[in-house]
């Protein structure tokens, strides 16, 4: 009998109940909140559900040594986490993004590329703020990239510059991407007049297949020669797009934008979530990163909208750009472009801005990859 | 078929060359000691001899197995580094030491020649022909002193042989190891981050502006010049004749054969709307079918309601 009681007592020590700390419960609650928001509000469910459930997995209290935790070498979770840690997953996601993105909006109106560049100020604004808060330059660079509104890029860069902060940076980037409609709308309204919101842009011209095939090749050569350190992201993005547009690699393109990107998105979300173990995640630094991440989104949206207003000063009547597409310069594809469409139609039901906003939106993807490459060159 | 074979063979050969090039050519002889003094390091057998230090300047592991060390230009296969020893794997930016005892049978890390002042030491690739690197041992090299190569550029790993004999530093990377990281350098030179911000913003804008310029030059400008309204091809049914679903379907199929699935879908939608009287064209019994060379985006744009300006 004593033996049984002793065994039960020993087993009790193995359970999560005996090892639980309030921090674990807090993180599990955040994970449940993510899942709830994803299901009820449908905010980025493809990201928030894996991340939220990963948070729950990563914060089940246990004692170390069982070789099952994400930070224990050789465990299943640790093996899957290598894709995040070593930066394999982000380029694969970029391959899928390239294979699903239609760059026509950008090719037909190349001037919109510059809005994508302006919105990258969010990255560098957050970098300056992080430096002011005492972060080391490499950490500040990794935090700044949250402003690119691009989860894979944020993971890629933070895995190179500040692996210790990767969990907080990735969760912050994906959370704010899910909150793009909430964050951007008030800023767009505050910075534009009613007259500006009613600007109608001319229909984009038709883009030939030849242009669409040449775009990834020329685009890659130019950006990669300027910023070779962005090669993994830029290379995969443009390669995926060439698969899509070449017309002769349909199977490859379908795999890249379908099963491949689904598998990688699931794994990246789950492992990033699981990496937020309370003891490593719930720190003052993480809270600060969340604050800076929010500011970076605000700065990116603000600079995007203001840049369009500035640009309009030099454009003739009839060629002016609706500043409501300025927010789309951040690369949260296609959410920020969708925000432009929704806000635009609030003021003119027949003014469809989606196709115009997709231009700066996909330019933002290229811009954030270029910015990540620059930060890696200087700080890596 | 023949051309395909030639291409495949060339690709395989190219891949083999690349694999070779990525490995052994990244090795250099970083230091050589010809004659030890009484304070020099001892080998595994307790003896003192000259030694050769090999450095891997690449960022990947290199296998030295199968390579050769020699002091004779006419006998490049003098001392073989055994292929079978897994210890012959040299990690990135690491060094490996070979004792020049004159007896290669002592183990993997022993050569079957001794180093004579005035000789030249060669590292030869595993093909036994290609000299990967060499270092001349000065004839007047003092006992207990070594000849070394130093990197004058730690990023590019460009090495130069030191003009003067150096104190030996076996199994240690030559030169100062206190090289600060990029981040440390930025923290020192740009403590507030303003310089990096200005440079980075300029580069992002420049990169995307160049992209803009290229596409404006290549496509937008010529497209604007060419842009002239073209009359859309019109398929007309005889006036007064009722629309025949079979005829319409035949037209759709003919277009589909010529233009692919997208056209089929567009025609199907147009027919559906037309036959269900959801739309009415300019004239009765006229269906306008315009082949879309435009992208998907443009197609969507065409479905939007156009208001008079």
| B266/B269 Cα distance (integer angstroms) | 5
CA dihedral angle for residue A268, residue A271, residue A277, residue A283, rounded to 10 degrees = -10
In the prediction, which pLDDT does B121 show?
94
Is B54 within 8 Å of B93 (Cβ atoms)? Answer: no
| A128, A137, A214, A303, best to mutate vs chain B, most B CBs in 10 Å | A137
* Best CA proximity match to A361, nearest among A51, A49, A171, A109: A109
| A297/A180 Cα distance (integer angstroms) | 8
Decide if B217 touches A, using CB distance below 8 A. Answer: no
From chain B, pick out residues whose CB is under 8 angstroms from the CB of A228.
none
| B246/B253 Cα distance (integer angstroms) | 10
- CB-nearest to A127 from B182, B197, B203 is B197
Q: Dump pLDDT digits (tens) for A52-73.
A: 999 999 999 887 777 888 888 8
- CB-nearest to B203 from A109, A208, A374 is A374
Is B137 within 8 Å of B147 (Cβ atoms)? Answer: yes
In the prediction, which pLDDT does B250 show?
61
| A128/A122 Cα distance (integer angstroms) | 10
Is A223 within 8 Å of B207 (Cβ atoms)? Answer: yes
Q: What is the 3-state secondary structure (H, E, C) of chain A?
A: CHHHHHHHHHHHHHCHHHHCCHHHHHHHHHHHHHHHHHHHCCCCHHHHHHHHHHHHHHCCCCCCCCCCCCCCCCCHHHHHHHHHHCCCHHHHHHHHHHHHCCCHHHHHCHHHHHHHHHCCHHHHHHHHHHHHCCCCHHHHHHHHHHHHCCHHHHHHHHHHHCHHHHHHHHHHHHHHHHCHHHHHHHHHHHHCCHHHHCCCCCCCCCCCHHHHHHHHHHHHHHHHHHCHHHHHHHHHHHHHHHHHHHCCCHHHHHHHHHHHHHHHHHHHHHHHHHCCCHHHHCCHHHHHHHHHHHHHHHHHHHHHHHHHHHHHCCCCCCCCCCHHHHHHHCCCCCHHHHHHHHHHHHHCCCCCCHHHHHHHHHHHHHHHHHHHHHHHHHHC
In A, residues 289-348, which contact B (CB 8 Å cutoff)?
none
Q: Considering only alpha carbons, which residue of chain B is nearest residue A369?
A: B204
From chain A, pick out residues whose CB is under 8 angstroms from the CB of B209.
113-114, 117
Distance from CA of B219 to the nearest CA of A (A): 7
From chain A, pick out residues whose CB is under 8 angstroms from the CB of B216.
110-111
Decide if A143 touches B, using CB distance below 8 A. Answer: no
Decide if B304 touches A, using CB distance below 8 A. Answer: yes
Phi-psi region of A19 (alpha: psi -120 to 50; beta: other; left: phi over 0): alpha
From chain B, pick out residues whose CB is under 8 angstroms from the CB of A218.
211, 214-215, 218
In the prediction, which pLDDT does A161 show?
92
| A100, A101, A113, best to mutate vs chain B, most B CBs in 10 Å | A113
Decide if B232 touches A, using CB distance below 8 A. Answer: no
| A104/B256 Cα distance (integer angstroms) | 24
- CB-nearest to B215 from A110, A114, A136 is A110
| A206, A225, A245, A248, best to mutate vs chain B, most B CBs in 10 Å | A206
- CB-nearest to B183 from A117, A204, A379 is A379
* CB-CB under 8 Å, A140 with B204: no
Mean pLDDT (chain A, rounded): 90
From chain A, pick out residues whose CB is under 8 angstroms from the CB of B202.
none
Decide if B187 touches A, using CB distance below 8 A. Answer: yes
User: What number is the ipTM of this complex?
Assistant: 0.83
- CB-nearest to A137 from B183, B227, B304 is B183
Is B90 within 8 Å of B56 (Cβ atoms)? Answer: yes
In the prediction, which pLDDT does A334 show?
81
Q: Dump pLDDT digits (tens) for A6-29.
A: 888 888 888 888 888 888 899 999
Decide if B190 touches A, using CB distance below 8 A. Answer: yes
In the prediction, which pLDDT does B279 show?
58
Kindly give the confidence (pLDDT) of every residue in chain B, 309 residues in length, as a single tens digit, with 9 standing for 90 and above.
Answer: 555 666 666 565 555 444 444 478 889 999 999 988 888 889 989 899 999 999 998 888 899 999 999 999 999 999 999 988 888 999 888 899 999 999 989 999 999 999 998 999 999 998 899 999 999 999 988 889 999 998 776 666 778 888 888 888 888 877 766 667 888 888 888 888 899 899 999 998 898 899 888 888 888 778 777 765 555 444 444 444 455 555 556 655 655 555 556 666 776 777 776 666 555 555 555 556 555 555 555 555 555 566 655
* CB-CB under 8 Å, A206 with B294: yes
Q: Dump pLDDT digits (tens) for A292-342.
A: 999 999 999 999 999 999 999 998 888 899 999 999 998 887 888 989 999
From chain B, pick out residues whose CB is under 8 angstroms from the CB of A132.
192
| Stretch among A74-88, A265-279, B132-146, B168-182 having the lowest mean pLDDT | B168-182
Q: Considering only alpha carbons, which residue of chain B is nearest residue A224?
A: B207
- CB-nearest to A137 from B193, B296, B307 is B193
Distance from CA of B191 to the nearest CA of A (A): 8
Name the more confident of A118 and A150.
A118
CA A152-A155-A161 angle, 5° bins? 140
Distance from CA of B307 to the nearest CA of A (A): 8
* CB-CB under 8 Å, A116 with B208: yes
For residues A241-249, give the mean pLDDT: 93
Phi-psi region of B102 (alpha: psi -120 to 50; beta: other; left: phi over 0): left
In the prediction, which pLDDT does B221 show?
79
In the prediction, which pLDDT does B28 show?
92
From chain A, pick out residues whose CB is under 8 angstroms from the CB of B192.
128, 131-132
* Best CA proximity match to A112, nearest among A335, A353, A297, A372: A353
* CB-CB under 8 Å, A127 with B193: yes
SS3 label, residue B188:
helix
Tracing tokens 């002769």 back to the chain, one arrives at A248
> What is the maximum alpha-carbon separation in chain A?
91
* Best CA proximity match to A190, nearest among A337, A313, A318, A298: A298
Asked if the model's pLDDT at residue A141 lies above 70, the reply is: yes
* CB-CB under 8 Å, B197 with A124: yes
* CB-CB under 8 Å, A140 with B193: yes
Name the more confident of A265 and B257.
A265
* CB-CB under 8 Å, A104 with B295: yes
Distance from CA of B238 to the nearest CA of A (A): 32
Q: What are phi and psi of A363, to 5 degrees?
A: -65, -35
Entry pTM = 0.73
CA B238-B241-B246 angle, 5° bins? 90
Decide if A203 touches B, using CB distance below 8 A. Answer: yes
In the prediction, which pLDDT does B39 show?
83
Decide if B201 touches A, using CB distance below 8 A. Answer: yes
For residues A245-274, give the mean pLDDT: 93
* Best CA proximity match to A335, nearest among A373, A297, A369: A297
């Amino acid at each position: 009998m004593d033996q049984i009681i002793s065994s039960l007592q020993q087993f009790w020590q193995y359970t999560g109940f005996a090892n639980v700390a309030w921090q674990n419960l807090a993180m599990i609650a955040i994970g449940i909140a993510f899942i709830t928001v994803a299901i009820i509000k449908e905010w980025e469910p493809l990201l928030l559900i894996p991340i939220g459930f990963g948070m729950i997995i990563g914060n089940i209290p246990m004692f170390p040594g069982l070789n099952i935790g994400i930070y224990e070498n050789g465990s299943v979770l640790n093996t899957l986490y290598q894709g995040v840690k070593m930066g394999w997953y982000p380029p694969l996601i970029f391959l899928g993004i390239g294979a699903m993105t239609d760059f026509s909006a950008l090719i037909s109106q190349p001037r919109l590329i510059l809005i994508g560049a302006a919105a990258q100020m969010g990255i560098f604004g957050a970098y300056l703020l992080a430096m002011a808060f005492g972060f080391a330059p490499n950490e500040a660079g990794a935090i700044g990239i949250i402003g690119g509104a691009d989860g894979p890029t944020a993971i890629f860069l933070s895995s190179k510059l500040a692996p210790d902060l990767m969990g907080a940076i990735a969760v912050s980037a994906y959370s704010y991407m899910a909150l793009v409609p909430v964050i951007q709308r008030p800023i767009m309204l505050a910075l534009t007049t009613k007259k500006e919101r009613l600007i109608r842009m001319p229909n984009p011209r038709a883009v030939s297949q030849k242009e669409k095939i040449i775009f990834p090749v020329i685009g890659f050569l130019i950006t990669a020669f300027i910023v070779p350190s962005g090669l993994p992201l830029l290379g995969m993005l443009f390669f995926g797009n060439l698969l899509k547009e070449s017309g002769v690699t349909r199977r490859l393109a379908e795999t890249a934008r379908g099963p491949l990107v689904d598998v990688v998105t699931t794994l990246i979300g789950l492992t990033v979530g699981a990496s937020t173990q309370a003891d490593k995640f719930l720190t003052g630094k993480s809270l600060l990163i969340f604050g800076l991440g929010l500011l970076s989104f605000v700065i990116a949206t603000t600079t995007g909208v203001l840049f369009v207003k500035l640009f309009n000063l030099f454009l003739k009547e009839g060629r002016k750009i609706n500043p409501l597409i300025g927010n789309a310069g951040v690369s949260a594809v296609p959410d920020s472009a969708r925000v432009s469409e929704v806000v635009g139609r609030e003021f003119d039901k027949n003014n469809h801005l989606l196709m115009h906003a997709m231009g700066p939106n996909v330019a933002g993807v290229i811009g954030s990859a270029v910015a990540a490459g620059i930060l890696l060159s200087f700080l890596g | 078929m023949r051309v395909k074979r030639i291409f495949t063979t060339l690709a395989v050969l190219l891949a083999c060359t690349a694999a070779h090039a990525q490995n052994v050519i990244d090795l250099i002889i970083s230091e050589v000691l010809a004659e030890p003094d009484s304070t020099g390091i001892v080998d595994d057998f307790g003896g003192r001899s000259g030694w050769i230090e090999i450095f891997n300047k690449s960022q990947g592991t290199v296998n030295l197995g199968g390579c050769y060390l020699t002091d004779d230009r006419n006998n490049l296969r003098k001392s073989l580094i055994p292929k079978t020893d897994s210890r012959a794997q040299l990690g990135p930016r690491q060094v490996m030491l070979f004792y020049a005892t004159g007896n290669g049978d002592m183990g993997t890390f022993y050569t079957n020649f001794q180093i004579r002042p005035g000789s030249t030491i060669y590292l030869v690739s595993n093909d036994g022909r290609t000299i990967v690197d060499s270092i001349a041992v000065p004839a007047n090299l003092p006992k207990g002193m070594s000849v070394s190569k130093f990197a004058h550029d730690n990023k590019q790993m460009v090495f130069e042989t030191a003009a003067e004999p150096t104190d030996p530093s076996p199994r240690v990377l030559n030169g100062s190891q206190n090289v600060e990281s990029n981040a440390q350098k930025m923290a020192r030179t740009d403590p507030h981050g303003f310089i990096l911000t200005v440079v980075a913003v300029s580069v992002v804008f420049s990169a995307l502006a160049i992209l803009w310029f290229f596409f404006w030059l290549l496509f937008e400008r010529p497209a604007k010049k060419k842009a002239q309204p073209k009359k859309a091809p019109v398929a007309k049914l005889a006036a007064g004749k009722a629309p025949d679903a079979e005829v319409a379907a035949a037209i759709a199929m003919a277009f589909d054969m010529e233009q692919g699935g997208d056209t089929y879908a567009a025609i199907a939608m147009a027919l559906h709307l037309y036959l269900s009287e959801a739309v009415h064209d300019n004239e009765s019994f006229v269906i306008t079918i315009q082949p879309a060379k435009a992208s998907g985006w443009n197609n969507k744009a065409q479905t939007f309601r156009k208001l008079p300006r």
